[in-house]
Amino acid sequence: MSEKEDLSNTQHEERKSGLDQTINERMRSNEDFTNDMERNWYELRPAGTQPERRSNHTSFVHEDRMYIYGGHDIREGELDNLWFFELDKMGSLRELADNSPGPDRFDRFAWQKVETTGNGPGPISHHATVVSGNKMVLIGGSCVNNSKVYSLDLKSFKWECFSTSGYQKEKDHIPESLDEHTACPYGDSIITFGGFVGGERSNLVHSYDVK
C-alpha cells in the first residue's frame, strides 16, 4: 500500500470515528433532554389568539381536548367563555419548548374559542367542574344564584340548568353560595367538599345526583 493510500485510509477512519462520536453525543443529548423534560417545567406558548388572562377558572379534559372555562380577570371581572386546545396536536414537547419550532406548529397547537348556546351560568369564577360522559357539570361559583347546577353538552355545546332537587340532602342542607370548593365524580353522583358557603369556610361534603 502506498503512502498516499495509507494516509487516505487514516483520514477516512478519523472522519468515521468523529462522526460516530458526534452521533453518540447527540443520542446522549436527546436522552438528557428527555430526562430533563420529565423533571422540569417548560412554558409552552400556543399560537394564534390567546384566551384572556384569568385566575380562579376551571380546566378539564374530554376526548383529547383540554378546556378552560370562566375565571376572573383583574380588569374585566368574571369571564363567561370556553376555550380549548387539542392535546393530540401538541407535537413533541421538545419541539414546542424549542425557541425555533417548525412552521407547522401554528396548525398543531393553538387555542380555539367555543361558542355555546342555552341557559348557562353567565360570568363566573371560583366554581368547580366535573366531566360526566359527554357532559361537563358545573357546581357553585361566584354568580348570583350558584346553588343551581349547570351542564354543558360537549358535543353540541349547549347549556342546561338543573334544579337543586338532585342534591341527596334535605332542602335545608342544599349549599347556598358555594365557591372555592372541590368536586369529583363518584358513580352517578358528584361529590363537593369544602370551600366557602355564604362567605364562611365550610368543611361539609355534599352529593349531587347526575343520572
pLDDT at 52 over 70: yes
Q: What confidence category does residue 106 fall into, taking pLDDT thresholds of 50, 70 and 90?
A: very low
**Per-residue pLDDT at 7:** 43
**Per-residue pLDDT at 110:** 85
- Asked whether 79 and 52 are in contact (CB, 8 A), the reply is yes
**Per-residue pLDDT at 175:** 65
Q: What confidence category does residue 164 fall into, taking pLDDT thresholds of 50, 70 and 90?
A: low
Phi, psi of 186, deg, nearest 5? -150, 100
pLDDT at 166 over 90: no
| 7-11, 84-88, 108-112: range with lowest mean pLDDT | 7-11
Give the Cα separation of 173 and 185 in Å (integer).
20
pTM tops 0.95? no
Angle, CA of 175, 176 and 179, to the nearest 5°: 85
pLDDT at 149 over 80: yes
Give me the half-sphere count of Cα atoms (radius 13 Å) on the Cβ side of residue 188. 6
Question: In whole angstroms, how far apart are CA 35 and each of 21, 40, 41, 62?
Answer: 21, 9, 12, 28
For the chain, what is the radius of gyration of the CA atoms? 26
**Per-residue pLDDT at 23:** 45
**Per-residue pLDDT at 70:** 93
Give the Cα separation of 194 and 205 in Å (integer).
7
Which strands form 135-139's sheet, in the order they lie side by side? 117-118, 158-162, 149-153, 135-139, 128-132
* Closest residue by Cα to residue 129 from 182, 82, 63: 182
